[in-house]
Amino acid sequence: MNETIKTMVNHRTIRKFTDQKLTDDQIQQIIQAASFGSTSSYLMAYSIIGVTDPEKKAALASISGQPYIEKNSHFLLFCADFHRHMIEASDDEKAIISENVSSTENLLIATVDATIAAQNAALAAESMGLGICYIGSIRRDMDKVDQLMKLPEHVIPLFGIAIGYPDDNPEQKPRLPQKAFYFENEYANDQIQAEQLAIFDQKIEEYYLSRSTNKRTDHWTKQVIENLKKPRGARLTPYLQEKKFNKK
Ligand SMILES: Cc1cc2nc3c(=O)[nH]c(=O)nc-3n(C[C@H](O)[C@H](O)[C@H](O)COP(=O)(O)O)c2cc1C
């Protein structure tokens, strides 16, 4: 296994960081790594906002419910972005582009672009011995994040990544067995998947009982059913449409 793959398969989310700050050089390298992710049609339909203002960090910590964002991490906010693409367009062109980028396809394009850039950034950080935590819970109040970051039309916040020096060494969370999610030539039938899920539930039960914090008896299948039974994102569609995304 080469060093890159070792870094990937050693991943665990870090939610506790030391006070040590990232250097400008580290931040620059992480952003450079992000920028070289593949990008659909060379659109680079995303922006990254590095948040250093203590008041804004405090607000993001409060919105997301993740207190360590405030003091002990460098915070990167990843946004889907079709704003810059219109800056050099004429008014007529802007109207056409605005109409077209409001498709679901273009929402997916920008979201996938931003996610690829983010995972490059995450991996770059982890390869430097830093820890990361993706923060999707900033979407609990997208309007507030939008306002704090002064996001124009056609720019929406997707998620953040908190990066810092790890002050924790959590057990690694197991992943699904490969046969449960990697199929050849066609989607696997439910019986094959159910067998794999039973194997995984057993593994997950052992993981939750053996880990050093927050021990409990749990199965992955039960956990995800409970999770997905909760409705989510009621404000998302109206917000997206106000920002001229996902209108058709
Ligand atoms: C898009 C995305 C959003 C996430 N948002 C949060 C979050 O808001 N808070 C949090 O504590 N972890 C968050 N996570 C981290 C996941 O909980 C974590 O990756 C998952 O439980 C697997 O654990 P691991 O990364 O340690 O393997 C997020 C992960 C992703 C990919």
| Residue located nearest, by CA, to atom 31 of ligand 1 | 134
pLDDT of residue 154: 97
- Which class does domain 3-170 fall in? alpha beta
Residue 132 in contact with ligand 1 by CB distance below 6 A: no
> How many A from CA of 12 to the centre of ligand 1?
9
Which residue's CA lies nearest to atom 6 of ligand 1?
135
What pLDDT, on the 0 to 100 scale, is given for residue 216?
Answer: 86
Distances (CA, A) of 122 to 105, 179, 241: 25, 26, 29
Report whether residue 64 contacts ligand 1, using a CB cutoff of 6 Å.
Answer: yes
164 alpha carbon to ligand 1 midpoint, in Å?
Answer: 15
> How far is 106 from 245, CA to CA, in rounded Å?
8
Ligand 1 atom showing the smallest separation from residue 158 Cα: 1
Distance of alpha carbon 8 from alpha carbon 123, whole angstroms: 7
Which atom of ligand 1 is least distant from the CA of 173?
27
Q: Does the beta carbon of 159 lie inside 6 Å of ligand 1?
A: yes
- Cα–chain-centroid distance for residue 71? 20
Ligand 1 centroid distance, CA of 77 (Å) = 15
Residue-range domain boundaries for the chain: 3-170, 174-248
Does the C-beta of 69 come closer than 6 Å to ligand 1?
no
Decide if 164 contacts 18 (C-beta within 8 A).
yes
Helix axes 190-210, 220-229, angle to 10 degrees: 100
pLDDT value at residue 215 = 87
| Per-10-residue mean pLDDT, the chain, length 248 | 98 96 97 98 98 95 93 92 97 96 97 98 98 97 97 98 95 96 97 96 93 88 96 93 92
Are 163 and 30 in contact by the 8 Å Cβ rule? The answer is yes
**4 and 127 in contact (C-beta within 8 Å)?**
yes
Protein residue with least CA distance to atom 28, ligand 1: 134
pLDDT of residue 247: 87
Residue located via tokens 């449960």: 180
Sign of the CA dihedral with 89 first, then 93, 94, and 99 last: negative
Alpha-carbon gap, residue 239 to 84, rounded angstroms? 20
Q: Is the CB of 13 under 6 A from ligand 1?
A: yes
CA of residue 92 to ligand 1 center, whole Å: 42
Q: Does the beta carbon of 239 lie inside 6 Å of ligand 1?
A: no
